[in-house]
Each structure stands twice: as C-alpha cells, then as structure tokens.
Amino acid sequence: MNVGFNIWAITPEERGKHDKQFDSLAPTLGYLSGDQARKFFLQSGLPTAVLADIWALADIGKDGKMDRLEFSIAMKLIKLQLQGQPLPSSLPIIMKQTPTPAMTPSSRFGMGSMPNLSAMSVMPILTAFPAAPAMTSLVPVPTLISGPLPQMPSSLSVPALPNGNANLLTPTPGTVTPSILNSSFTVSIGLSKSHSLLDLGSSSSNSSSTTSLASNSPKMNASDWAVPQSSRLKYRQQFNSLDKLMSGYLSGPQVRNALTASNLTQTQLATIWALADVDRDGQLRAEEFILAMHLVDMAKTGRPLPLTLPSDLVPPSLRGNAELEKRRLALREEERREEERRRQKEREEREQKEREAREMELRRQREEERRIERQRELERQREEERLKELERREAAERQRRMEWEKSKRVELQTQREKEQSDIQRLKDRKRSLEMELEAVGNKHKQISDRLRDAKSKSQIQRTELDLINQKRDSRITDINSLQLQFEEIQRQLSRLGPEKQRLTERLLDLTQNNSSPLINDVKQSLCEKDLSCRKLKEQLDVLERETTAKLSQMEQYNREIKDLRQRQSQQQDVLEQLRRVRSEKLKELQRHRKEEEERKRKKEEEERKIKKEEEERKRKQEEEERKRKKEEEERKRKKEEEERKRKKEEEPVVTTEATCAALTTYRALYPFTARNSDELTLEADCLIEVDESTVRETGWLYGSYRGNSGWFPESYAERCTNKYVLEINLKLFRVVCVSSRPLYSTVDEIELSDSGRFEEYVALYTYESPESGDLTFCADDVVLVTEREGEWWRGCIGDQSGLFPSNYVKPKEPDTANPGVPGKKPEIAQVTTANAAKTPEQLSLTPGQLIVVLHKNSNSWWLGELQARGKKRKKGWFHSSNVRLLEANSGKITPASQPLCQVIAMYDYKAANKDEMSFQKGQLITVLNKDNPDWWKGEVAGVIGLFPTNYVKMTTECDPSQQWCADLLSLDTMGSEERKRQGYIHELIQTEESYLEDLELALEVFYKPMAESGRLTEAEMSMIFVNWRELIMCSTKLLKALRVRKKMAGERMPVQVVGDILSSELSHMQAYIRFCSCQLNAAALLQQKTDKSADFKLFLKKIASNYRCKGMPLSSFLLKPMQRITRYPLLIKNILENTPSTHADHANLQAALEQAEELCSQVNEGVREKENSDRLEWIQNHVLCDGVIEHLVFNSLTNCLGPRKLLHSGKLHKTKSNKELWAFLFNDFLLLTYTSKQFSSGPDKLFNPNSNAQYKMYKTPVFLNEVLVKMPSDPSSDDPIFHISHIDRVYTLKADSIYERTTWVQKIKAASDNFIETEKLKREKAYQARSQKNSGIGRLLVTVLEATELKPCKPNGKSNPYCELTMGAQCYTSRHQPDTLNPKWNFNCHFFIKDLYQDVLCLTIFERDQFSPDDFLGRTEVPVATIKKDQDGKGPLARRLLLHEVPTGEVKVRLDLQLYDQTPHP
C-alpha cells in the first residue's frame, strides 16, 4: 500500500494542462524547437543556467527538441524549482511513466467516499504517514510579499492539530515555508496575479484545494457565516485602514504587522494564512482578512485551529466558485482520459503495422539470401571455367615469354657490351681527371708556398716599417727640441743687440772723456761679449745645419715609407690574385668531384635497376615453377602425409622402422623462419623428417616438424645417422617415461652441438659507444648473438661481450656460414700457443690443433671451427696471435704479413676488381705492402686487398693543431701542451658542426618526407622524433657561442677561453633528458611499424638511400643524440688535461666537466624515470592548454629546476561549489583542470593509455615559489579540506580522504621549499661571485643602457628580454622588460679585472620564459684589452655592440675601465 506521494510524479491534471500549453505553442510534427521552448521557459523568471540544466534533464532523446512527454517533464521541473525544490542529478523514472489518477485522501485514510477530494499536487514532497491515530499533513505557507505564490494543497480530513504542536508542521526540505516575520528571503516565483502564459499547473492545484465537508450543501447567505457580526465590523474597519490604496485586497507585507501583533507562533500564523487565503492568490480580500483575524482570536482563546476550513467559516462570496471549478476540472479530466484512450488505440495500431512490416521485410531478406546463394553457385561454376581458360592462356603466355626473354637476353648482352665500353671510357676519363687533380694539387701547393712566402715577406716589411716609424718619431722629437733651442738662442741674440749698442755708445763717451782705466775695462768686457756672440752664432749655424740635415732625413724617410707602402699594396694585389686563383681551382676541383660522384651514383642506380629487374624476372619464374610443381605434388604429398600419420598412430616412435626407411632424419644447424605458408619454420638443433623422394628444387628440402610440413633450405640442416637418431629418441623416450617433470625441463641433458647455441650476424655499420656495458665493432665484423630482446641485443666478439643495437647487424648468409660449400676454399689455421677459454663463446686451444677460419674481424679476433679428432666440432672466438695460417692443400706455413703503417681513407672507394678492397671515408687501413707506389696492399675490417694511394693519407699528417692553424710560425711559438689544447678545442667545434649537420639532415631527409607521406599520425611522428627541434636549438646555441668566441679571437688564431661557454650552455641541455627517456619507445614503435608494414619499410629504405645519409638508416640518426651527450665529458676532459692549472680557463673547464657529467647522469636517470616521462606525455595529449601555457611542453625543462617532474596527481573538489577538479602537481607549478570531454561511458583513469578524456585548464597555473599551503583551523576535523594561498587568491579544496589531504599538503610544501631554496642558492651564488674580494688589477664599470630591434619570440611579435653580463664566474642579470623589442634597462654593475689580456666581457640577451629555459636573443663579447685601447684615458665610453648569431639586434652600453696601477711608463 502506497503511504505517500512521490514528489516527481506528474498528475493527470498537470499533464492535461501541459498538453494544452504544448499545443498553444504551435509544435511542428509533434515537436517544439529549442527557440520555441526557450522563449516560453524564460517567462518563469529562472536563471538561464537553471533552465539549461532543466533542458538537459527533460531532453530524453538528446535531439535538441521536445515532444509532449519531454515538455511536460520540463514544466514539472520548472514548477518544482520555483517552489524551492533542488533539481535531481538524473531524471526520476516515475516522470517518464504515464500519469495515473491520484488516490483521494478519504480512501487513503479509510474515511469513505467523499467527493472533490484529491491529493496534493503542487507541494509533492510528503513524508510517509506512520500508522498513528493523529495523522498530519504539511501545510506550507506562502510568502507575505507582493507577487503570486504557489498553491498549497488542502489538508486531509483528519482531526485538528493542537495549537502548540509545531514539530509535526515542520516542512520537509522540498517544501517552501518562509517565515511570516522574515521578509528578506528569496522570491523564486515571478508570476503576477493575472495568469501569464507559463502557468505551471496552478489550476490543477486549485481544483484539489477545496476539501470542505459541506461543499454539496445549498448556498448559505451572509447570516450563515460563523464569524460574529461585531468581529466583522471591527476587522472591516481595520482592513479599510490598512488598504490605503483602496485596491480591495492586502498583500503579505501589509498583513504582516497585524498578524505579528497577535504574538502567535510562526506555525500558527502559517496555518491561519493557509486557511484564510481561500482563493490561493497570495492576497487577502476583506472577507479573507476578517476570517484570518477571527482565526487569530480563536487561537488566542486557546481553541484548536482546524486543518481544513469548515463550511460555516467559508466567506459567502467564495462558496459558489469552488463548486464550478470542480465541475470544470471533472469535465477536463474526462476529456483527457478520452484523449489518452484514443492515443493508446492509435499506438497499438501503429505497433501492429510496424510488426507486419518487419515480418514482410524478414521474408524479403530470406528470399534475397536464397537468390544470392543461387547466384554465387553460378559464379563459382563460371570461375572454375575461367580458371581453366586462364591456365590455357598462361601456357601460351609462358611460351611467348620464353621467346621474348631469349631476344631480351641478346639485347641485354649487346647493351652490356656497350656499357662496358662506356665504363672503359669513364675509367680513362677518371685517370685523366686524376692527373688533372694531381696537377691542380701541385699548383695549389705552389700557390700556397708563394702565399706563405708573401705573408712572411709582408710580415718582415711590416716590422721594418714599424722600426722606420719609430726612428721617424724619434727624429721628429729631436728636431722639435733643436727648434726650441734655436728659438731660445735667437731670443738671447735679440736681447744682446741693444746692450751692444748701449755699450758701444758708452765706449765712445768714455773715449771722449779719456778715462783710460774705465776704457780698458769696457774694452775687455766688449771683447768678452764679442766672443760670446761669435760662440752663439757658431752654435746657431750648427743648429741650422743639423735642422737642415734632419729635414732632409725626414724627407728621405717619407719617400722610403711611400715606396714601402706602394710595394705592400702591390704585394697585397698579388696575394689577392693568388687567393682568387686558388679559390677558382678549388671550386673547379669540387665541381669535378661532384660530377664524378654524380656519374658514379647514376651508374650504380642504373646497375641496381637492371639487377633488380633481372632478379624480379628470375624470382617470378622460380615462383611460377614452384607453384606448378607444388600443384603437381600436392595430391601426392597429402597421400604420403596421411600414410605417415596413420603409421605413426599405429606404431611407437622409438620402434618405428618402416617410417625411418621411407623418411630421412635431418638436424637443423641454424634457425629458419618461414616467409610464406609453403615454407617450414625451424629451430636450431631440431629434428626434421624429410622425404628425399619428393621432386624438389636444387638447394631445398621438403620435411615435417611438430606436425607442420613445408620447404626449407638444404644448407640449414644436415643428415643424421641412424645411431644418432636412435640415441635421441631413446633419451626422449626415457625422459617421457621415467621423469615426472615436463619435457622441457630435461632437454638440457641431450648433448647438442655447441655451435647451435649462438647465431652469427654481420655488422652493417661501425658502432662505437663510451658505455662500459656496450659492445663496439666495425663494419663487416661477425658478432655471435647470445640474447635477443627488443631493439638491443647481447653478443660477443672474442673476449668482449655487451649490448648493441639490433639494426646495426644482419644475419650472416648461409653460404658464408658453411665452410664446406663447394667452390670456396676455407682457410686453415694451426694453433701455435695454448690458450684457455675465458668465456663460453671462446675456444680453448692446444698447440697443434687445426681450426677452420670462418671470419676475420678487425680487432684481431677470428671466428673459427675447431677440428678436434674424436670430439664434436665447436665454433668460437680465438685470437689471431695464437695461430698461424696454412696454405690450402699443403702443410706449408704462411707467415702473416707484418703491418708497415696505418693510413686514413679520405674518400669512399668501391672495389672494381676481385683483388681490390672497398672502404669508406674515415676508415683506418693497415698497410701490408708498398711495392707499387700507386697501389698498396692493405687490410681493413678483416679484408685484404689493393687500394689506390691517392685515396688515403698518412696518420702522421693528422696533427689536430694543423687543422685550425696553417701558420707554422705561430705553431712553432706554442708549446706542445697548448698545441694539443687548441687541437681539442678545434675538434669540439668541428664535431659540433658535424653533429648539427646530422640533426638537420635527419629533419630534412627523414622527418619531412615521413610527415608529408601521411603514413604515420602526428602523435606517432612526435613519439619517434620527440623534441628533435629542441636538440637542434641546444646545439645551435652552443655552436653559435663557440663561433662568436672564435671570431673575436681572430681567424686561424688560438682560442684562449671556452670553459665559460660550455658551463653556460650545458646547463640548458636538459632537452636530451626527454629525448633519451623516450628513445626506447621510439625505437619500439619504429620496429613495430617496419615489421607490420612492408610498404613502410620500403619507404624508409628509399629515403635512406640519399647519398648524404652515407648508408645510415633512421635508427642510426636517432642514436646520435645519445652518443653526442656522452661524448661531451670526454672532449672537455681532453681540453682540461692540456690546460695548466694557472690558466684563466681552468676553473671554468672544471665546472663545465662537472655539468657534463651531471647531464649524463640526468640522462641516465631520465631513462630510468620512464614512467614519469610517459605520464608527462599523457598529460601533454589530454590536457588542453590556453592563455599563458598554450605552447607549454610538459615533458621538457623547467626554468631553473632542471627537467620537469610529476610529483602527485588526483581528484579534488572545491569546497563551496563542490566542483570536481583534477590537479597535477609538478616540481615548479600546480595545475588545476576539469573534465571538458568524456567520450567513453565509463570513468577514465588518469594515465590510462586508452583514455579518451580531455581536461581543460581551470585557473592559471600556480607557481610553487609563490604559494602557501595551510591546514584548516581544526586539523582534527573529519572534513578533508585545505587552503592554498597564491598572491591575492585563496583556493579552498577538499580531498577524498584525510590521508589524501595530508599527502597533498606535504608534497606541495616540499616542492615549494625546494623551489624557493633553489632560487635562494642561485642568488647567493651569484652574490658571492660578485662580492668576493678580488686581488685584481682594476675594475670595469658597465651600464647596459638599452637594446634595439631584438628578435621577436612571442606570438604577438614581442619579447620579454633581459640582459645577462658575465666575466668568468662573475655574473649579473638585469630585470626583464615585458612585451617589447626595444628595452631600456639602465642597469649598472661592475666586474673585477684579473688579467687585462685574458678577461672578456660577455653580454647575452635572453627571452624570459616561466615554464622553460630562457630563449637566446643574441650574444656579443668585448675583450678588456680592447676597452683599454679605446678608452686611452678619455674617460667612460659609450658603444653600440652588434648581437651575433641572430638576424637582428644591437645593445648600447657605457664602459669605464679603472686600473689600480696608474703610474705612467717612462
């Protein structure tokens, strides 16, 4: 028995009302569009977000439109929402069901049949009534403010409640029971008193609201009203006083004061309002107000309030309306039921028609299937006839093809003769070009000698010119001093002239006065004066002569200087002419070489095409012959197999003699994998039953193994004797019968040949690795593979064993593996020195034993088969120094040729004759014989042959110092240690250039064709090449910095300092960590694609045939970054070992070596942390980033914390909105996301490879150096919430459990502390380097003023540049300027000068990036010596410096060099 109403049930009255409103909106084909429903629903006044949720729940078909049922559900949900009921998370099932008439309250409570009583429809939330005498109902109270309120259900006919019982009247959470005394609550209903278009079923509620027991009685007049006349007059006057607007009714706020003055409880006032508001319009008319006040008086006197309004209390004016409304609703209910029956009937008829249509369609399909079956039978017969006709045609075609091949053979023979003549002509041309090349080389050598002589003469003349200039300056100084003396003497002479005149006059006076003593004195003084004048004149004459001589000497010197300058300009012209001639000859030589290489390449391509066509024709012929033979033998073979099976079933394997007589047992020497269904897959040392009577091709056998039959190569197996087979069978039988263990656990007891345990592979390329666990080898070496797993296999060569990449080797051909193949004489070696095997792959040697040499490797370890009498033959490694070779068919000893020297190949060479040998550029060749000056005999990779001498150069001529400096005089002035140091620096730069070329070559030759072909998806391409462009960027930045340093030092001049560049750039090479950690996945994907698709394999082989690849496949290029990153410590260590400890670069090189080793360890750690890398890649593919992190690469470097790591992740909720968030905690920031797309129905777990979920960024990433995580004020609370403070924002989040909250808080705190500590250490290190007391010779004050026209890095064409200034360990960094290409810093700093001629000021411009290492915007350097020369006592100088290694940009600085020792030189 149902004891309560479901709040989500739609009553028939509501359904009828909804159908009428649905029809009034003019539906199209029974549906309402989204726009029609939207305009109608907006009349409810609900927010658009709430209406959107209602639409999502009601739109059952998810088709963007609504039928009648969906419209009724939406109307019901809007109604409940207006009443304050929250929306359900999913649509209740009862709302989809057909509404049924509600049970009357009287029947539910056993009160007999009472007319016009219905269940509550507007307030559906009704708690189940307990089986108790006093039954209560919920009486919600409307708000006492303006505006209509939802209709309340009439109460059931049960005993009245006592006044003070408020507990039973407390509404459930779904009801709307606002307090009369509180007018500030939210009004959710926006309908006016006059009905609007959006009527949410209020009429149905009105029909059920009248439950008076006396509703069928005759109408009463006013005198029958139970309210006393005195009360009517009293409250009528009060109503008139409150109705100031004379509207005839009072609203809730107007009545509130009058009701609250009664001091009744809110529950009693709510009951009074519900009883007094008879018409349920949310307002009280005069009679309703009088009734309300009368009920207030009843409550005050202590009388109980009725649950329903008695008929005698109903106002007389409202008694007739209720009866009319009930009749109208009854008629409407009858119409609705009739319409429902009609629809039910139509639905049944429609279903009947659909059922009949399906049955007809099923019959039609069966007829169609029978017709198709008959048609297939006819087609099968036609196909058999067509195949017979095709066989006849093929026979005729085969005959015609044989005739055509005969004619084609003759034609090819003619073409071959023609091509041989062309080859001979090209050889002659080659010899002539070689002679011309030799002549050009001699001419180049002569020109170089002349150029060197001219340079030395120019140097000598420049020295002489400097001496002459010094002499000239000294002479000019002497002349200036003499000129000053001359002027001084002239001034003295001019002063003595008047004195002489005065003395002469005085002498005359004295003579006239005849004063003899005085005259004598004067005469004497006059003589002295005359003597001094003569002396001065003589000195003046001497000075004039000396001045004239000096001036003539100056003129002579000027003429000589002019002559020297003319001679220098002439020599410079001659030198330029020689340089032009040299460059022209070099260009011509290069052009000849390119033409020759192009001709060779075209010729080889043509030969390959012809050979390929011939092989294709032969293969097709063989396949046709094999198919024909197989078709002929198929029936015979089947019969034989059936007989063999029958015999095997009848007799045991051990005692079978008839089968052994008919079949021959073979033992597999090597494993063989079937290439098609006709071939048989073999394992090493397995036994095969072979029927030798079967018609077969030469070199192939037909046998069976493990129930499978097929063809296999004859050279892959050997015939077993009956005794051997019997022993094997007896052992197997004993294992099966006696041992209770499975068969595979005792297979090791069977003695098998040791040679079958390992597989022989031939090296395709040279593999070198600095790793201790790797196996290195040269091209064409033989490797014994002991373990195959993935892309890296384990093998051994002699006493060496280790890992190597599988794509560097190929299986050894069967004909080279068998020493007994006819037509090839094996080499026999005799053991001369005993040697014990150290590994299972080696041979233990005893003097006098004979060994068949199978292969010779370049490292003096040979592979051979021991010929020990009375023992089984065993293959293994042995050292060539323990044996001596014997001549074929004789016992004479052939002493091994002693190597004379070693040479290095300068070019690739392909053998043209059998006695020649092929080699590649850069290979080391051991010279065995020099009898012929043009053709020497040598050995490379175990192959001995002749080679041309002009293709190689001596290793003694490869001094690395001569590669960077051609000036032998400069080399002679250096010590041996400095020469080696410069050679290693040059090697670092040259190998970096080659490495960068390889990276760019892989991008051009492999990446672009693979991306354009569409054979791989974008995700697969990114998985193979990962961050290849980042590697190019790292190498480019390092190479550019080294080139700038070399350019500043001068071309062909020694580079003094490189450690600071290496230390700076190696710290930004963490991109290798991501690449190397993803390399295994890339190799696995590449191998999977090549194994799965033959077309893709051919495509890779085709693009790898580019001559620039030098025969290396894509996998070789993918290994180069790993090889390069491990080579940096070796190169830096070589430079450091040849750098004195007192050198200015020693400390920087030591720091660079530590960083290189740390980078290698990080790469190894990154490979080990594969799971972290995979998770970062998963986040990259599933998190949609926008705004500041639109171009963020998760699996990359952070700005200052090294590689990015994922520390923690999981689901969190916002505390207020309970919004679900997915958080990812990295070591530099916290990212909050939410699910934007969920493609699959089930929940997708994080980091699931098959997950299709997409996550979108919720807020801007929170950097951990700016956050503060807090626990709640009450940590013992069971609510797992915590707070994250970030600048001006606070996130309050909730975890799934207390443990998960503790984990989040601890990990965020630890990561934040690490971030802050790292930045602190970085600042302290820079501060210590700057503040350290230096005992230098001075300081340099630098002011970086501004930069102009920088390279844009951001999508908006701007950058966030800052400037970094370094001098050795001293470093300063300016503030970054946001969104500009012309920053103005005005940044001041100073550096201590240690060595005036070694210290260099480096200015580097970077782009500030929060999520990755800063980008390079340019670099420039200024030697301190240049600053001193330019300043020269003039004070601070301002300079504009051009930024190098970038297309544009310059920086303006002000420099002030202050030296502590300012004493002038004498």
1234 vs 469, more confident: 1234
pLDDT at 167 over 60: no
pLDDT at 587 over 70: yes
pLDDT at residue number 870: 47
Least confident of 7-11, 108-112, 873-877: 108-112
pLDDT at residue number 965: 54
What's the rounded Cα separation, in Å, for the pair 671 and 685? Answer: 8
Instruction: Report whether 274 contacts 252 (CB < 8 A).
Output: no
Nearest alpha carbon to residue 809 among 852, 880, 857: 857
1411 vs 1294, more confident: 1294
Alpha helices in 83-121 (DSSP H): 105-108
CA within 13 Å, CB half, 362: 6
pLDDT at 274 over 50: yes
pLDDT at residue number 739: 37
pLDDT at residue number 1334: 55
pLDDT in tens, 525-573: 778 777 778 778 787 778 778 778 777 777 777 787 887 778 777 777 7
pLDDT at 1095 over 60: yes
Strand partners, 1237: 1254
Per-residue pLDDT band at 1452 (split at 50, 70, 90): very high
pLDDT at residue number 183: 33
Please give the backbone phi and psi of residue 1116, each rounded to the nearest 5 degrees, phi first. -70, -40
> What are the tokens at 175?
């009801």
1033 vs 469, more confident: 1033
pLDDT in tens, 1246-1302: 777 777 788 888 888 888 888 888 887 776 677 888 889 887 788 889 898 888 888
Per-residue pLDDT band at 1454 (split at 50, 70, 90): very high
318 vs 211, more confident: 318
What's the rounded Cα separation, in Å, for the pair 1022 and 1018? Answer: 6
Average confidence (pLDDT) over 130-153: 35
pLDDT at 1204 over 90: no
pLDDT at 429 over 70: yes
pLDDT at 58 over 60: yes
Place of tokens 């095969």: 688
Q: Average model confidence (pLDDT) for the chain?
A: 76
716 vs 131, more confident: 716
> What are the tokens at 545?
């002569």
pLDDT at 934 over 80: no
1425 vs 450, more confident: 1425
Least confident of 427-441, 660-674, 1342-1356: 660-674
Strand partners, 224: none
Instruction: Report whether 1449 contacts 1443 (CB < 8 A).
Output: yes
Per-residue pLDDT band at 322 (split at 50, 70, 90): low
Place of tokens 């030098």: 1110
Residue 919, classed as helix, strand or coil, is strand
| DSSP collapsed to 3 states, 1168-1224 | HCHHHHHHHHHHHHHEECCHHHCCCCCCCECCCCCECCEEEEEEEEECCCCCEEEEE
Residue 804, classed as helix, strand or coil, is strand
Number of helices (H) and strands (E) in the chain: give both, helices first.
Answer: 29, 40
> What are the tokens at 1058?
């490189």
What's the rounded Cα separation, in Å, for the pair 918 and 925? Answer: 11
Residue 1300, classed as helix, strand or coil, is helix
Per-residue pLDDT band at 1451 (split at 50, 70, 90): very high
What's the rounded Cα separation, in Å, for the pair 492 and 499? Answer: 11
pLDDT at residue number 125: 31
Residue 855, classed as helix, strand or coil, is strand
Return the amino acid letter for 960. P
Category of 670 on φ-ψ map: left (φ > 0), alpha (ψ -120 to 50) or beta:
beta
Residue 778 DSSP class: -
Nearest alpha carbon to residue 939 among 915, 917, 920, 907: 917
Alpha helices in 1003-1053 (DSSP H): 1008-1013, 1018-1025, 1028-1049
> What are the tokens at 1192?
């963020």
Average confidence (pLDDT) over 336-358: 90
What's the rounded Cα separation, in Å, for the pair 171 and 180? Answer: 15
Per-residue pLDDT band at 1102 (split at 50, 70, 90): confident
Average confidence (pLDDT) over 839-849: 80
Percent of the chain clearing pLDDT 70 (strictly above): 79
pLDDT at residue number 140: 36
> What are the tokens at 1224?
């990812």
What's the rounded Cα separation, in Å, for the pair 1160 and 1168? Answer: 12
pLDDT at residue number 1401: 92
**Number of other residues whose CB lies within 10 A of the CB of residue 1202:** 19
Average confidence (pLDDT) over 587-597: 82
Average confidence (pLDDT) over 878-907: 64
Calculate the dihedral angle through the C-alpha atoms of 969, 971, 973, 977, rounding to the nearest 10 degrees: -170
